[in-house]
Structure 1
Amino acid sequence: MKRIAVNARFLCERVTGVQRYAIEVCQALIPRLAGQGIEVVLLAPKGKLLPLGGGAQVVQADRALHVYAWEQLVLPRMVRATGADLLWSPCNLGPLAVARQVVTIHDASIFAHPEWFDWRVALLYRLLLPRLARRARRVLTDSHASAHDLIRHGVVPPEKLRVVYSGVGFAPGRLPGVLARPLPEPYFLTVSSLEPRKNLRRLLAAWTRIHALGALPEHRLVIVGAPARVFSGGALGDSLSPKVITVGYVPDEELQRYYYWADAFLYPSLYEGFGLPPLEAMVFAKPTLVSDTPSLREVCGDAALYCNPLSVEDIVAKVLRLATDKALRARLSSMAPARAANFTWDRAAEAVAQILGEVLDAVTPAGPPR
């Protein structure tokens, strides 16, 4: 039986967009590949791991190391020990010592804006990613906009690059019972890790200006998301208006409750490889405001209202339009679920399985990855 190993570093990390991608695709991918006679084994660092369904076989390292050291030094030995024919690294980085590898690089933000990141992380990624992309058999990314950026910055050879869209796992029909309101006041919602590229400072400035104008006096701005340790600089100011509520990280069931009761969703991000939260909001038919950037245009299509993320004035104008234009709200709400339905984890897993299968057929059948 052919065997694919997965770089499961994500199982010991907090779940943000990259980890969610890996978890959701793996859960759909493992039974799909099993049906094709391909075994999947997840190789993980030593430590407490996130639970993963789908009949996953997980092998952990026998000693603890920093995840980056584990990935480069220990993971190649684990790949050889399991006799895997191919390695898939779904979370940007992978071991340079493994050439029979497919790696998913989600975006080019660390090349486009290294100032957003902790300098040590930026240096590591900028050194490793181009070398990894040259050695890997294929590189996957989340959108055509992201592919364009990876090529433009010289990270990935164009002939190796393939686009695989992410998916949305939320579905109102699967919600357990009636969801209680998370807070009594009406609110607009944003969901993101607290990092510079999410543009929360301008969103907060816009929200302050909206209330200074006397608009939306009853509404709160709710921010769901945890700080991201690999990024430099604070995302929020030292003091927040009482009209702003920060929730921090919440599990999926709680997150869906915030989506369900929101009056609208705001996402003026400066840079995205894909942009999953707007699609999650669209599952719940929420009128959605996003940045006018290539990847968000590609993903959200006509089902969102767009703003200039560099202009506080434009964010203010578009939030007020989203709040007051009933015809616009109705149109966006009606289009949103169908738009989100275009992106599923089953489709993502099918595309990943096809690419892994093609590479698996092309590599030398005898012996583990080199």
Structure 2
Amino acid sequence: MTLRIGIDAHVLAGKMQGSRTWLVNIVARAVSRHPDATYVIYSDDPVRAAAAIAGANVEHRRLPRVPRSVRLLAVWPWLVHRDRIDALVTTYIAPPLVPGARQAVVVHDILFETHPAFFTWRMRWRNRLLTRLSARRARLVVTISGYSRDAIAKTYRIDPARIAEVRCGTAPPPTGGMGAGLIPDSRPYLLMVGRLEPRKNLALALDAFARLPAGGSRLIVVGRADGERPETLARLTAMADVVHVAAIDDRGLGDLYAHAAALVFPSAGEGWGIPVLESLALGTPVIASNVTAIPEAGGEAASYFDPAAPDRTERLADLMRAAVEGRLPFDAGLARAHVARHDWDGPAAAFVDAMRRAFPARDPAPAALPGLLRPQ
């Protein structure tokens, strides 16, 4: 009988972030690779979700608009029963009253465990308790990088055979949206992309940029404020030659990537680093921190620095200066080869393989889960 897989897609109506990008690209590709399963997509807006994820084996359902606690404790058990769901895929926090043998939980990273200073105490302790419980109960844990896979296995004492690594990918971002027109002159510019929060290290980027020769280049920062310190946002607005773009469409962002002297990605911690791959896909050099999963996203094609080193500001400023002067080492062929190994099709196939292994069709009591190999 056909396996019925429920997908919690409530993030489709939330803020733009990596978890949303991953879900859309993985599930939209997985459905055609998994014709022997029916995917039931639960979202706040089924019409919008259907535009992103479609197929002959896809059903869309509206999630009831109730408090999160009610959804976890009551709605999900009811939906699993009503819609005859064999495997429910949720993100970070899984419903505790749905049997663990029927659950796969996606945990992009556990930075709230490894980098707690960047999270509020409420989020930190909620996730520590509920994500840990969810990961330990679920039959399958899915994560997006080798770094996160190892951290989850070690911190939560989970058998690595229960953790499937389904990485992020990329496709060359579209161009032609006149994003480069944001720059009123021909001076080279550096680009920083991502939500504005302390973990992204905007303050460090501003400190380093301030050490470059005045008037010789610009720094464009793309992203909405999301918990960033007020003093850092004030500097972002006040600094000469710094442009803040709160929002831009995909084509405009593609233009900014394509014409930048380099992408600057100084984050203190990431589960992956999608802007790194997007920049490389358009042949633009990348300056990135060398911590957590970021080197997996950039491979050997990026230039790295240590964001915790005593000389981090000087080192980042040196790399920025080299980029705007055209001296930053960059092998375009190496970048193309790295990007070619990280499309979305491979991770989608890995997701389907992991689901098939963990949830054999209509097996109410699956046998011990065989090992899930890390992608090469």
Q: TM-score range by the shorter chain?
A: 0.7 to 0.9
Provide the rounded CA distance (Å) in 2 between the counterparts of 1:10 and 1:247.
Answer: 23
Could you tell me which of 145, 148, 151 is aligned with 1:146?
148
2:116 maps to what in 1?
Answer: 114
Provide the rounded CA distance (Å) in 1 between the counterparts of 2:158 and 2:230.
Answer: 31
Deviations 1:122-181 (A, max 9, x none): 221111011101110111111111122223322644332222211103355xx4688763
SS at match of 1:289: strand
Kindly indicate whether the alpha-carbon contact (under 8 Å) linking 2:180 and 2:256 is maintained by their aligned counterparts in 1: no
2:302 maps to what in 1?
Answer: 304
Change in 2 beyond 3 A, CA 1:69/1:260: farther
Provide the rounded CA distance (Å) in 1 between the counterparts of 2:29 and 2:231.
Answer: 34
Change in 2 beyond 3 A, CA 1:294/1:225: same
2:210 maps to what in 1?
Answer: 208
Provide the rounded CA distance (Å) in 1 between the counterparts of 2:219 and 2:21.
Answer: 25
Equivalence map 1:353-364=2 (5 Å): 353-361=352-360, 364=363
Provide the rounded CA distance (Å) in 2 between the counterparts of 1:208 and 1:132.
Answer: 44
SS at match of 1:306: strand
Deviations 1:278-297 (A, max 9, x none): 10000110011011124222
1:344 maps to what in 2?
Answer: 343
Provide the rounded CA distance (Å) in 2 between the counterparts of 1:177 and 1:291.
Answer: 29
2:374 maps to what in 1?
Answer: none
Change in 2 beyond 3 A, CA 1:179/1:227: closer
Q: Decide which moves more: 262-271 or 68-77.
A: 68-77
Quote how far apart the aligned CAs of 1:352 are: 0.3
Structure 2 gaps, min length 5: 366-376
2:370 maps to what in 1?
Answer: none
SS at match of 1:168: coil
Kindly indicate whether the alpha-carbon contact (under 8 Å) linking 1:46 and 1:64 is maintained by their aligned counterparts in 2: no
Provide the rounded CA distance (Å) in 2 between the counterparts of 1:362 and 1:33.
Answer: 11
How well do the aligned residues superpose, as a CA RMSD in angstroms?
Answer: 2.6
Provide the rounded CA distance (Å) in 2 between the counterparts of 1:221 and 1:68.
Answer: 42
Deviations 1:37-76 (A, max 9, x none): 2110111247995542333422013x42234542443122
Change in 2 beyond 3 A, CA 1:305/1:180: closer
Provide the rounded CA distance (Å) in 2 between the counterparts of 1:225 and 1:14.
Answer: 11
Quote how far apart the aligned CAs of 1:325 are: 5.0
Provide the rounded CA distance (Å) in 1 between the counterparts of 2:219 and 2:290.
Answer: 21
1:101 maps to what in 2?
Answer: 103
- The percentage of counterpart residues that share the same residue type is 28
Kindly indicate whether the alpha-carbon contact (under 8 Å) linking 2:261 and 2:326 is maintained by their aligned counterparts in 1: no
Provide the rounded CA distance (Å) in 2 between the counterparts of 1:67 and 1:277.
Answer: 30
Could you tell me which of 259, 262, 270 is aligned with 2:260?
262
**Which amino acid letter does the alignment assign opposite residue 301 of structure 2?**
A
Tell me the TM-score normalized by structure 1: 0.87
Tell me the TM-score normalized by structure 2: 0.86
2:21 maps to what in 1?
Answer: 20
Deviations 1:298-339 (A, max 9, x none): 23221011112131111112212233354x44x333422221
Change in 2 beyond 3 A, CA 1:232/1:316: closer
For the pair 1:238 / 2:239, whether they are aligned, the reply is no
Structure 1 gaps, min length 5: none
